[in-house]
Amino acid sequence: MIGNITVGGTGKTPLAIHILQWLQKQGYKPGLVTRGYAGTAENHPLVIDADTSAEISGDEPYLIFHKTQAMVVVDPIRSRGGQKLIDLGCDIVICDDGLQHYALKRDLEIAVIDGSRGLGNGWLMPMGPLREPKARLSAVDLQVINGQTMTLEPQAIQGLGHDKPLTVNTVNAVAAIGNPQRFFDTLSKEGFKVTAHSYPDHHRYQAGDFDNLKGPIVMTEKDAVKCHQFTNERMYYLPVKTQLADDIEQKLQRQLLALL
């Protein structure tokens, strides 16, 4: 079970991808269940395949499936979705963003915390960012702090639907994620001069969103999966690779192997 106790993005999806890929390398058959926030699927459980669009599944399930080729099921009733993964032959089920979904039994809980924003003012919603009291963290099996014990290492920028190289360092940075500033800061650290454009998390892009932007456009992978239908040679995305601190990586691997 991967989740957080704050609203907004903390890095759960990159961690889920990292865990799925590690389990696959060990010879296991992991699967992931998620509610598919902002997806338009009407029938559940939805088993994602190569023909499933990001609009139907939601951007995060789509990205996870295409990055890992693991079985991914979307279902707001996550116990039903988890059972579907078991029926399909998975030997371990990962739930993305399910820490507060208490209807689903869990054997291991991982809380992801944004290292730059922490727990905010420490108040529960709506006065603060907390979904649960901060004491909840004492009950999880592992805490991962994005920006400290976990880093998202930038990889080579890729053309979105094309292979034209990016040859300038002044770009429009576009992000519709929980913490867009993290993405903008990453591009700046990579040497780009950034004009930032942020949208609400899970924003459903339209071609017109980019009409007034001059020059190259760089977005996150999560944004890119929603733009394939109207991409052009100005559009690029920045892949990232999850890197865990050695002690956290070893502890996580021991906990996963103990379950298996």
Q: Are 238 and 187 in contact (CB under 8 A)?
A: yes
β 110-114/2-3 pair status? parallel
The Cα–Cα gap between 151 and 201 comes to: 21
Model confidence at 97, in pLDDT bands (50, 70, 90)? Answer: confident
Together in a domain, 206 and 78: no
Q: Are residues 32 and 106 in the same domain?
A: yes
**Residue-level pLDDT at 207:** 94
Residue 101: give the domain boundaries. Answer: 2-151+243-259
Of 204, 224, 205, 206, the residue nearest 158 (C-alpha)? 224
Q: Is residue 215's pLDDT more than 90?
A: yes
162 with 209, same domain: the answer is: yes
Distance CA 1, CA 18 (A): 14
pLDDT at res. 8: 80
Give the Cα-Cα-Cα angle 174, 239, 246 (nearest 5 degrees). Answer: 125
pLDDT tens column, 101-115: 898 899 999 999 999
Supply the angle between the helices 59-68 and 12-25 in degrees, to the nearest 10: 30
How many domains, in total, are found in the chain? 2
Q: What is the mean pLDDT of residues 109-131?
A: 95
- Domain co-membership, 209 together with 99: no
- Same domain for 97 and 165, yes or no, is no
Cβ-contact 172, 215 below 8 angstroms: yes
Residues 37 and 130 occupy one common structural domain: yes
> How far apart, in Å, are the Cα atoms of 123 and each of 85, 116, 117, 120, 136?
36, 17, 13, 8, 13
Is there a single domain that holds both residue 134 and residue 170?
no
pLDDT tens per residue across span 170-186: 999 999 998 899 999 99
Q: Render pLDDT for 133-174 as a digit per residue (tens, 0 to 9).
A: 999 999 999 999 999 999 999 999 999 999 999 999 999 999
Q: Looking at the structure, do residues 135 and 51 belong to the same domain, yes or no?
A: yes
